[in-house]
Structure 1
Amino acid sequence: MSDGIPVSWDLPDPFTMIIDVGDEDTDRLGHANNVVYVRWLEDISWQHIESLGMTWELHEKTGKAMAITRTEIDYLTAANAGDRLVLATWLTGFDGRFRSERRFQLVRECDGRTLVRAVSTHACVNLKSQRPSRMPAEFADILGGAMVPAEGVLRS
C-alpha cells in the first residue's frame, strides 16, 4: 500500500482489488452506502474465481453456479468519497460437494485501518432449475485447491 502503511491482513496471501470511493458510492450520511459494499464483495468474488479458472464459460459448460446463501458484514468504520480502499478476499471453506465459504477484509489505504470484515457462504445450483445441485468436479478442483484454512470455517 502507498505511504508505507503496512496492512495487517486477517489471512495470508489475499486476492485484492483497489477501490476508489466516488460521490456516487455515498448516501445521505456522506459515507459509502451499505448496498455499495455488497456490490464490491460481489465484484471481487467474480474477479477472484475467474482468475482461478472458474470462468462464466465453465459455469455455462457445466450448467452449474455457486449462489450466495448468506452474507454477514461487520461495518467497523465508514468509507468516504475520495478514499482509496483495498478489498481482500480468500476462499476459506469447502465441503467437497455442495457448499463453500469466502471471507473479506476491506482496508483504507492511507492509514491501513480495517473498515469492513465479511463472510459469505455459497451453494452450488443448477443454472436451469436454480435448485441445489452437487458441484461438478471442475468446481471442486478449483475451490479445494484455492482454499485458505481459517478458524471457524465451513467443514465437510
Structure 2
Amino acid sequence: MTDVFDLALKIEPQHIDILGHVNNVMYVQWMQDVASAHIEKIGLGLKEYLKLKHAMVAVEHHMQYRKAAFEGEDIILRTWLDDINALYSFRQYAFYRPKDRTILFLANTKWACVEIATGRPKRMSPSFTQAYQPLKSDVNPFDFEKYHTDII
C-alpha cells in the first residue's frame, strides 16, 4: 500500500506565461516530476525499470485547471495511486497552495506496463503489483492539513 506523496515547489519566473500565471504546460511537467519522485520513494523507479526490462508509460491524461498560481508562491504537488490491474495503474494528482488550501489543479493518468525493448504491452510483474498499491480507502487524499506540514 502506498500513501499520498507530496512534493513542495516554489513557482519560479520560468514557470510563468505571458498572462502572468503558471503556464499550463508546466502542470504536465509537474505531473511527471511528482510521479517519478513517488515511484523512486516506493522503490520501483527508473533504475529498477531498466533492470526488469519493463516500465510504466502514460497513455491517457485527464486534467482540470481550477485556479491560477503565480510567481513566488509555494505549492504542493500531491499524487497517489488509485487503482491497478494486470496492465494498467491509475494515478491521481491534486496540486494545491498550502497557505489557503486552494486546489489549483486536479488530474489523473492511466499508465500502461510495456516491455522497454519493444514498447509492447506487458502484464505487470509481481515487483510492480506489490509496489504500486492503491491508496487505502480510509485515507482522504484531500486532507491537506494532515500531510503538508512535514515538507514545507
TM range (shorter): 0.7 to 0.9
Question: 1:57 deviation in Å?
Answer: 2.2
1:55 matched residue in structure 2: 45
Query: Deviations for 1:65-123, whole angstroms, at most 9, x for unmatched residues?
Result: 0000111110000111111001111100101x110000010111221111111101100
Gaps (5+ residues) in structure 1?
1-12, 151-156
Secondary structure of the residue that 2:59 maps to in structure 1? Answer: strand
Give the ranges of 4+ consecutive aligned residues of structure 1 lying more than 2 Å apart after TM superposition. Answer: none
Distance across 1 between alignment mates of 2:59 and 2:45: 20
2:20 matched residue in structure 1: 30
Q: Tell me whether 1:98 sits opposite 2:53 in the alignment.
A: no
Gaps (5+ residues) in structure 2?
138-152
Distance across 2 between alignment mates of 1:40 and 1:55: 16
Amino acid at match of 1:35: V
1:135 matched residue in structure 2: 124
Secondary structure of the residue that 1:139 maps to in structure 2? Answer: helix
Question: 1:136 deviation in Å?
Answer: 1.5
Q: Tell me whether 1:115 sits opposite 2:129 in the alignment.
A: no
TM-score by length of 1: 0.83
Distance across 1 between alignment mates of 2:19 and 2:117: 41
Distance across 2 between alignment mates of 1:115 and 1:137: 35
TM-align CA RMSD: 1.2
Q: Count matched residues.
A: 135
Amino acid at match of 2:89: S
Distance across 2 between alignment mates of 1:131 and 1:80: 40
Amino acid at match of 1:117: L
Secondary structure of the residue that 2:119 maps to in structure 1? Answer: coil
2:56 matched residue in structure 1: 66
Question: 1:143 deviation in Å?
Answer: 1.1
- Cα contact 2:96–2:105 (8 A) shared by 1: yes
Amino acid at match of 1:80: F
Distance across 2 between alignment mates of 1:137 and 1:59: 13
Amino acid at match of 1:125: V
Question: 1:149 deviation in Å?
Answer: 5.0
Amino acid at match of 2:18: R
